[in-house]
Structures are given as structure tokens and as C-alpha cells.
Amino acid sequence: MKITSEKFFKNIELEIEKLANTYEMVSCEIEKTRTDQTLKTTASSENVEFTMLIKLLDRSITAFKREIKASLNDYFFMKDAGILREQSAIHIKLQIDILHKKHREFLDKRMSEDLLKKGLGRNYYFHQSIDKLTCETLLEYFEMNYALAFDEK
């Protein structure tokens, strides 16, 4: 039954990887846009390229949060069936470390805070706090929601 648990955490790992890849892509595109002599060299709100890149990042963060929330039902199912093996979560630690690295690289691009706040909207806080995302905090999120759902039954 360990395989089921590993598949669950592999899905979480893939979602983290998608978010890390988006941070990497946006960082690279910001760098390309800044070095392109035909475009403005600042990440101002008037710059369509920067605005679109931030919108891509916003959608990626939203998709990540949506999938983690949707995964709660799978977690509940596995927990109730007694097949959850939290040691399988070790697979996501490496991907979270990569996400943190890509996030730091993005922060090094020195984007306008106003542009980020406007472009990310509700996801701005998640973006600012992404370094607090750890394997342990994800497991706590699942476990806390499981406990709340269990109390409601």
C-alpha cells in the first residue's frame, strides 16, 4: 500500500516543480526583457511584458494552491484507509528546496513591489512567504484540515 502514498506525494512534488519552473521561466524572461535594448529597462507597471510575466506567475500560484486544496480529499481518503505513509513525503523536500532557490533568483530581479502587489493580488502574500513552505508545513496543512474535518463529522 506504500505505493498509493508515494503517488500522492509524487503529485504534490510535481505541483511544486511546476511552480518552481514558472519562477525560473519568469526570472529568465525578465532578464531577457531587461537586456533587450528596444524595451524599457525597468519593471514598471506600464511595461506590458513585465505585467504579463507577473500574470503568468499569479496563475501558477493559483493553480498550485488549488491543487493542494483539491489534494485534501485524497489525503483524507488515505488517512481514513490507513494507507498514508508520511515518510513518503521526503520526496517533496528536494523539490521545495529547488522552489526556494528559484524564488530567491526571482527576488534578485528586483521587481517593483507595486507591480507585484497589483499583478499577484491575493497571491502576493503567498509569494512573499514562500520560504516558509516546507515539507513539514505541507504535512501540517493536510493534518490540520483532516483534524478539522474529523471534528465536523
Give the model confidence (pLDDT) of 70-124 as tens digits: 998 888 888 888 877 777 677 788 899 999 999 999 988 877 788 888 889 999 9
Q: What distances in angstroms separate CA 103 from CA 3, 24, 33, 100, one per listed residue?
A: 31, 8, 18, 5
**Cα gap 22→16, rounded to integer Å:** 10
CA–CA gap between residue 17 and residue 99 (Å, rounded): 7
Q: What pLDDT, on a 0 to 100 scale, did the predictor assign at position 112?
A: 77
Share of the chain above pLDDT 70, in %: 84
| Helix, strand counts (H, E) of the chain | 6, 0
User: Cα separations (Å) of 69 from 17, 46, 72?
Assistant: 17, 34, 5
pLDDT at 1 over 70: no
pTM score: 0.84
pLDDT band at 36 (very low <50, low <70, confident <90, very high): low
What stretch of H or E contains 108? none
Q: Which pLDDT belongs to residue 132?
A: 94
